[in-house]
Structure 1
Amino acid sequence: MQMKSPSRNATRLTRRGRLVLLVTGAVLAGTAVAVPLLLLGSHHEEAKPQKLVIPEGWRASQVYDAVDTALKLPPGSTRKSLGKAGLKLPHEAGGNPEGYLFPATYPVERGATPASLLRFMVDTAKGKFGNAPVAAGAQRNAMNVYQTVTVASIVQAEASTKADMGKVARVVFNRLRRGMPLQMDSTLNYVLNRNTVHTSVDDTHMQSPYNSYQRMGLPPTPIDNPGAEAMRAAINPTPGNWLYFVTVKPGDTRFTADYSEHLRNVAQFNAGQQTTGQSQVPGRSTQQPALTQQPSATQQPLATQQPPVTQRPPVTQPPR
């Protein structure tokens, strides 16, 4: 039997059907165009700027290295850029930004340079240090702002906790006012570019304006870049008559004005060190002559009548 051919009407779309097909095709076509556009847009979004984190207590040398790394520059590039950076530093700084590279998190925008990042840090520091409360606090302590930043840098390096910062600042001021050398190991560590609790007698004989065992007064510049807490301590030190301190164990720093009490605290620290099997600090020998007539702020003096002692434990600051 012969099959009949399909009717034309069977394949013909109605007007409504043609309209639906056209609309559906347009939607599909629009979707096909939109997907590539979305994908294209995702590839061309502005990349978020990198972040450069400067911890409290870092020295300028560490900041320079961090900037070199962030900008993918050869080592030493940031240090070499200092002369052309146009940093607005206090006159007393003599062009040295130590103390004024304020610890914070900085965006590294496209086109950033060592000079632009250093200017950002210095401008931030000037904003923090250049206000009326800081100026008034410095004046109360018979200092200018630059000297106060120097005190804050010592506090940042020496204090084991933020709670101790005000007391450490008070020790600094008390010793200065009594005409006693500061005898802070942190100033020696700065000039020797190290971070250690092991200070030898040879170290304390070093000829340097940063040797606070031999030289009176503050070091000539800050010894690191202090944060806001250390600066607050420097302008508002905790009231007290303390001249000595030693961290017997983490979280337990003993402050005293009594030298005999300080020696007992040091002995207690040494007993704890012997329990943990830690060695004595090299060079603290009973054969060494006394450096000065005044005992160290943080240790007993290097005198022939005193047994060797160790330094206090490391401070809980970022490595420097």
Structure 2
Amino acid sequence: MSLDATKWAWGVQFPDRKNGSLKPLKRLVLLSLADRAGEDHTCYPSVNRLKEDTTLDRKTVLKIIAELIEDGLIQDTGERKGATKQVKVYRLCGVSGRENKTVPTTEHFNHESPDLNSPNNGTVPTTEQFHCSSETVPTIPPNSPNDGTRNLPKNLPDESKNKKDWLCFKKLREEISLADDSIDPKTILTAKWAEREKRAFEIYNQDKSLCDELMNFHFADWLLNAYRNKYSQETKAGYSKTPTANNPKHLTEKQIATFAQKLAHHPEFSGKYSEPGESFEKLAARIAVKLEDPTQAKKWEPYLKQVGFSGNLKELA
């Protein structure tokens, strides 16, 4: 943890606020933020992390964060962290760090000091001629385990420390399987041409501000199209894929669960089919039941394609 930030958080005096949060709860959240502050007094714990630390509910945590900002104790830097770039980075305002402490200075003794008349008083002063302040400033080595707890690279998961770009093979395999379960993702991901298509995909999207999750989502479609149109054995031999590959029997259970969630968050679809006051979870459950019916799934196929389904459901008599 940051010792300076924690010491500051313990000593902060909270202003009285009508209908505001209890001061002990505000100090609890502030201490949790200070616990994750680095040497620059910034921190970026997620709301879920603050909930776990304080055992408060999400609504209370968000209310206290807003009050701490209004009190001028923390500040939203505008920077965002995390895989989705949605975790806010806060700066603790008013922390007096070691960089602000007074550096010890030297003082000359009174000129009447007998030592000045000593034969030793030449061009090089003796140690007795100077007096150093007795104040000592504690220091912590940069690599000390006490120097921060959450924000330093040593505490990050290996996957985060070793991550070099947006590509996540686990996420990519899932998206390929959901889009077309007739194709083994390993066939595509282990192919020599996949790296070539990755370079082309990155060039195509270099000017677009897409998060890592969307990059993997669209890259799955890119690879599937490349496989079908250029690299599959059927394409090389000059004949089309079998009808069952283009026309899946029905949606699998995994596809139904995934696309039900995506359709529940689709603005146009949810606005058309949701009931007043219905939550996303209840809407997704109703959609999943409907998708089990092949006739209904075929009717919603245009919406399914908008959320990532790339096949063609079989026409029913």
Normalising TM by the smaller chain, what interval?
A: under 0.3
Greater relative CO (CA pairs within 8 A, separation 6+): 1
User: Which structure carries more helix by proportion?
Assistant: 2
Which has more radius of gyration?
1
Q: Under a length normalisation based on structure 1, what TM-score does the superposition of the two structures give?
A: 0.25
